[in-house]
Structure 1
């Protein structure tokens, strides 16, 4: 009898536990608050911190403005940002931490490798994800993920087109990071488009994450090949070293980069004269004189005592695009994460945005935006829109 009662007791406890787990599984991801919870992920410490801090601030400014103006569908936004140090494992951990917090939508991640890792998780959860700046094709490979920035292939082809169409150079060398999907992806598309545009790529020299301080070999090969221009589809940290080492070697070609170059003038200890004449693709420059840009720059400086770079503008645009898509879909905070995602996936392809980083921006179902790039040139230690 006692054994039977004990067995029955165990069965009841087990059944209760299973029931609780089942209810928890259904309930998990469902909103219960009166606010939308938007999470952000990116590097606020480490080598790429300038990007993450800009994104964090850009999101914050947009959230503050939207909340002051009544929120999304009359509901305020709660916002939390996690540092991933540009590390894939830390980025996934940050994602899980934000999920525990109750995140319903993700703006991030900032850089490509972490974003590619996190999108696997957000896809499994069917959580809507909009990255401001992850450019690798794989970073938005699933239907729940969109991006605000240009993809790597788009940057590569646009760079080759601009150089050829404006007759900036005919003999071009490339120095790229073969261990970085961002850099190698841009280079591959650049090489294809350069050939089509009759640009002569006289040298294509790679480096890796383990050899990104001494560029003497790459510089010498570019110089020996007679390069008139060096294309640098890399981040500004490595680019700053290349500019300094090339000058020391007596090699003074023209330079052209992509959006990863943004931030070079703010690099501590960098001699801005080394960047004079440097050109790079960007969808935003703080020096633009249109009202929208100047209003944003003024508000950003007032809030953060700093001048915004492209990454801040992309992040700011992300939040306003989510607002537009959410209002079109009429989502509410009490909907499940998956239901919110399904609604936003549809409405993102139906909106058209006039943003800081482009006008008449639209999105396809593959998550890619339609927008035109801007080329800036460094002149007298500042960015100037190229004509």
Structure 2
């Protein structure tokens, strides 16, 4: 652990105040519901009590509510544990519903600033997270997302042609794998385990999350010698009938279908594939987590579905089982990886705040600079529920380095996928 104590006089806000005033003031004013509370560096971001005020944003209603509620509950469990310890670090969590909508997410962010938020844990889903991360970057508000996996969330990443279109958002960090990492890791896993010889891909080309994973999967699959025989797409507006996509995969002889999409369309794909007598192997990413909870879905169709995930609730280690028991008591359901990532976010923040040496009466922008220094210091690491028993670290890009695990649905639960 580093012994450095943050020096507020050298904050990034101080260094770039003139640039912010010239180039960002108009943007900030246009994005806020309250001009008096939206300015970067405002003292309104300091806590009035002895707790750090953490905001959270995600869908707690609507089609993606399973993700938002999982994050909300997972984070609250961590907050309650930490507060019960009675140490120097105490938290207050205010979690806002955005219904998986970018505009509502930005509005929720502004509401949380009015409340006095000092750190943002969120947002949960990718498109809202891209929008909100632009706001937090302009305000110099520290943000760590449990599940906003697009590289657009953190910025500074090259596109397929190697061009960097958006600057790095230095204040934004991820607890989840980035989309390219998910896609590349999935292709590598499929290749190494010889899970399929002819691969089909069905992805949502109207969704940043899905297209990002698709692009990296395709590039890695080609490098690993996987044969992609079918590539078909859909949009949010057409995610009800997958007969064209499934027939294309079936006619091409695909024996494995890669699904870099969320669990609701996956449930429809599995149902419709079963109706047409098509039974390939199915491989997904973290968006598949939640498949077993879809109302009206025949979960027997999910048997054998595989995915990469950083967390499995059936793991036998004491920390996981303690968390699972507490989550089931609070939510009456088994936690998914989104809940575990949120839990880890809170504990990573606690560790980083302890190392930074800041106190709850510190301005949010100074807290941001202190946390950025810790997370990118090279000597900060974190071991949690989603790090497979190893210490995770963050690069100066905001990406986390940790190992995914292969999982398969067996007898209605997620189990480790044997090598």
Decide: shared fold, TM above 0.5: yes
Distance 1:368 1:173 in 2: 28
Structure 1 residues 218 and 66, CA gap change in structure 2 (3 angstroms): same
What is the aligned counterpart of 1:99 among 106, 113, 136?
A: 113
What is the aligned counterpart of 2:341 among 309, 314, 328?
A: 314
Distance 2:222 2:261 in 1: 21
Aligned residue for 2:304, secondary structure, equals: coil
Deviation string 1:117-147 (CA, Å, 9 cap, x unpaired) is: 0011101110000000011001122000000
Match of 2:150 in 1: 136
Deviation string 1:243-280 (CA, Å, 9 cap, x unpaired) is: 00011111100000000000101112111111111000
What is the aligned counterpart of 2:400 among 369, 372, 378?
A: 369
Structure 1 residues 26 and 216, CA gap change in structure 2 (3 angstroms): closer
Structure 1 residues 68 and 201, CA gap change in structure 2 (3 angstroms): same
Aligned residue for 1:28, secondary structure, equals: helix
Deviation string 1:8-40 (CA, Å, 9 cap, x unpaired) is: xxxxxxxxxxxx99x997533233322110010
What is the aligned counterpart of 1:112 among 105, 109, 126?
A: 126
What is the aligned counterpart of 2:386 among 340, 352, 357?
A: 357
Match of 1:379 in 2: 410
* 1:157 corresponds to 2:184: yes
Structure 1 residues 24 and 222, CA gap change in structure 2 (3 angstroms): closer
Distance 1:27 1:86 in 2: 30
Distance 2:40 2:342 in 1: 33
State the TM-score, normalized to the length of structure 2: 0.85
Aligned residue for 1:40, secondary structure, equals: strand
What is the aligned counterpart of 1:63 among 79, 86, 91?
A: 79
CA RMSD of aligned residues (A): 1.5
State the TM-score, normalized to the length of structure 1: 0.92
Q: Following superposition of structure 1 onto structure 2, how do residues 273-288 of structure 1 map, counting pairs within 5 Å? A: 273-288=300-315
Distance 2:266 2:154 in 1: 27
* 1:333 corresponds to 2:360: yes
User: 1:304 Cα shift?
Assistant: 2.5
User: 1:373 Cα shift?
Assistant: 0.3
Match of 2:92 in 1: 78
Aligned residue for 1:113, secondary structure, equals: helix
Distance 2:205 2:215 in 1: 10
Match of 2:27 in 1: none
User: 1:348 Cα shift?
Assistant: 1.6
Deviation string 1:201-233 (CA, Å, 9 cap, x unpaired) is: 000000011100000000000000000000000
Distance 2:171 2:395 in 1: 12
Contact 2:41–2:363 (CA under 8 A) maintained in structure 1: no
Aligned residue for 1:281, secondary structure, equals: strand
* 1:173 corresponds to 2:200: yes
What is the aligned counterpart of 1:344 among 354, 371, 391?
A: 371
Distance 2:201 2:40 in 1: 54
Contact 2:383–2:392 (CA under 8 A) maintained in structure 1: yes
User: 1:302 Cα shift?
Assistant: 2.1
The count of corresponding residues between Structure 1 and Structure 2 is: 365
Asked which structure has the greater CA Rg, the reply is 1
Deviation string 1:93-113 (CA, Å, 9 cap, x unpaired) is: 000000000000000000110
Match of 2:330 in 1: 303
User: 1:170 Cα shift?
Assistant: 1.3
Aligned residue for 1:353, secondary structure, equals: coil
Aligned residue for 1:285, secondary structure, equals: coil
Distance 1:126 1:162 in 2: 38
For structure 1, the residue ranges without an aligned partner over 5 or more in a row are: 1-19
